Chain A
Amino acid sequence: MTTAPTRKTHHLTIPVKASDIAMLKPGDIVYLEGVVYTAREGVYDRVLEKQQPLPAFDQSGTDLSAISNVNFHCSPAAAPSEDGNYKIGGVTATASFRFSKWMERWLDLTDTKIVIGKGGMPKEDYTNILAPRGAVYLTTVGYGTGALLGRGVTSVKNVFWLDDLGIAQAMWMFNVKAFGPFIVDSDIAGNSLFAEHNAAIAENISALYDGLKPPALSRYGETDNRKDEVM
């Protein structure tokens, strides 16, 4: 791959500006400072399907995007502590492709510009949904850097709907500093790092099966195209 020599590391402040987002290229590394919020199926379902309003983030009714335009697909390992705050242990992303169907409406509602999660989303989503809205996707690294990301959360600014949705699905607002590393998957042109790498790997796949005879019984609906993704 050609991403190596040009890989840059960016330290961005949230809310992230359009000019900062425009600099991000697939394969670049990003660290964040400011406020990151979590939202996944529990929050999307509540707001987009059940049509409930977003929480009041402060007394003066500030919009979410003025506080944070970074949506993290995450459930923290968290527990209430004695002082009424929360103890955050590890912080790790969850697989984003499952939330694809909500992204368009969510970005329009919240003006979110960075989506962080595990594994990216289909390239068509970048082309059709994220890129036209000036939004990009960052993936967490290795999917298990829970301790490094946990260190990056300096405190819990707020948590909403904890009683209704539980710890894993609640909407958390984290104060973060040197929060990362994340790898840029999609840029504002809609390119996808994962799609590039999948295509490179796919070149070699049919050779791996050469000489291995197929099993006697196929699986119902089985596809023979190993270049297809299953998501």
Chain B
Amino acid sequence: MTITAKHIETAAYEIMKKAAIDIPDDYLTGIEAMADTESGDLSAFVLSAMLDNYRAATEDRRPMCADTGLPRYYVKVGDKARMDSMVALEAALRKATADATHDVPLRPNRVHPLWRTEHNNNLGINSPEVEWSFEPDADWIDITTVHKGGLFGTDYRMLFPGDGIDGIKRFLLDTLIAFGKRGLACQPAIVGVGIGGSKDTCMQLGKQAACLRVVGDRNPDPEIAKLEHEFKELGNSIGMGAMGFVGSSMVVDCHIEVGYTHTGGMPVSVHTFCLSSRRATARIHGDGTITYRTDPKWFTPYMRREGIS
């Protein structure tokens, strides 16, 4: 049996709604734990208001944050999945975006960058983004959507091998403090750090590390896993909590992804996935049934392969 554009549209519409409304369990658990240990009075007040807000969103079926970000998709296609038309798949994703924007409703954030033209449906040139990956020995298609605000909390810098881990730590501190002031990064955040690749890959890896891995997940390289822990502790030692008030709640978790890079360079990017960390995934199975979850399972061993296959 083949997967049809109708299956894709149904799944994509549903995850748009779920992502906007229901906070993922892993992030919720992380914030509950931070609320218990936060000693900064105002920062603790903010975390408790956010917990109220998640409940209100789920009860009322309304978006947890009105800045529903720049809705976009990550599609992972099983090698044995059969789809009649890839162009129809992309069209289905666009239709689901427009329909969900009206029905949920999502804020129609997308505008032309120069002329500020908008279609009130979150569609436009190169919008929504669709990123692709493949998975061996699978007959399903996974579609993940992420709703992330787009203005603050991200930076990129070309460092050099001699700058070492110190250089990365300084850049991480620079970014967290600059955007943590007044809480522009909407911390506590899932911090994604992309290291290596070419410049665009570096940004992409860091963004995916923030948005497509769950709180508690560790990189399979034990040395990188240690760094993830160290960076999380470093961020939480700044003395800054939610909204930039005095406190300790800056980083719910830190995820690092790496890509082989130019021998002379060590590009680094930092991304913060906010207090409304919104993601939802649908799996369209080979027989057309659809199941939903909040863990995108994007970084598979195949994604991180080093050799030919």
Q: Which residues of A line the B interface, CB within 8 A? A: 1, 3-4, 7, 27, 29, 74-79, 87, 89-92, 94-95, 118-120, 139, 141-151, 166-168, 181, 183, 193-194, 197-198, 200-201, 204-205, 208-209, 211-217, 219, 226, 229-231
Contact = CB atoms under 8 A, between A and B. Distances in A.
A89 B152 contact: no
Contacts of A200: 239, 246
B255 to A, nearest CB: 20
Nearest to A166: B118
Contact of B246 (A1, A118, A141): A1
Given A148-B49, A212-B167, 15 more contacts: A4-B42, A76-B66, A79-B103, A89-B66, A90-B63, A90-B107, A91-B66, A119-B183, A142-B242, A142-B243, A144-B64, A146-B62, A194-B244, A208-B237, A212-B170
Contacts of B246: 1, 197, 200-201
B294 interface: no
A143 B185 CA distance: 10
Interface string B146-183: 00000110000111101110110111011001100111
B120 A77 contact: no
Interface stretch (B52-60, B123-131, B195-203, B223-231): B52-60
B120 A167 contact: yes
Interface of B: 20, 40-42, 45-47, 49-50, 52-54, 56-57, 60, 62-68, 101-109, 111, 118, 120, 151-152, 157-160, 162-164, 166-167, 169-171, 173-174, 177-178, 181-184, 186, 234, 237-240, 242-246, 274-276
B166 A142 contact: no
Contact of B186 (A77, A143, A149, A230): A143
18 contacts: A1-B245, A76-B107, A78-B107, A79-B101, A90-B20, A142-B50, A142-B53, A143-B275, A144-B50, A147-B60, A167-B108, A168-B107, A183-B42, A197-B244, A208-B173, A213-B163, A213-B166, A229-B181
Nearest to A81: B105
A149 B57 CA distance: 10
A166 B186 CA distance: 25
B114 to A, nearest CB: 15
Contacts, number: 207
A3 B275 CA distance: 24
A3 B42 contact: yes
A167 B107 CA distance: 8
A143 B243 contact: yes
B157 to A, nearest CB: 7
A85 to B, nearest CB: 13
Nearest to B165: A212
B184 A79 contact: no
B162 A166 contact: no
A90 B54 CA distance: 12
A142 B46 contact: yes
Contacts of A230: 178, 181
Contact of B166 (A27, A181, A212): A212
Nearest to A149: B66
Contacts of B237: 208
Most buried by B among A147, A197, A213: A147
Contacts of A150: 56, 60, 62-63, 66
A199 to B, nearest CB: 10
Nearest to A185: B182
Contact of A209 (B105, B157, B173): B173
A94 B164 CA distance: 37
What 7 A-B pairs are tightest by C-beta distance, nearest first?
Answer: A90-B63, A92-B66, A90-B66, A79-B105, A147-B57, A4-B41, A119-B182
A166 B157 CA distance: 36
A139 B186 CA distance: 13
Contacts of B276: 144, 146
A184 to B, nearest CB: 11
Contacts of A1: 40-42, 245-246
Contact of B170 (A76, A78, A118, A215): A215
A92 B278 CA distance: 15
A92 B35 CA distance: 22
Contacts of A77: 20, 63, 66, 68, 104-107
A147 B104 contact: no
A171 to B, nearest CB: 16
A230 B68 CA distance: 25
A212 B46 CA distance: 32
Most buried by B among A91, A145, A211: A145
A36 to B, nearest CB: 14
A89 B239 contact: no
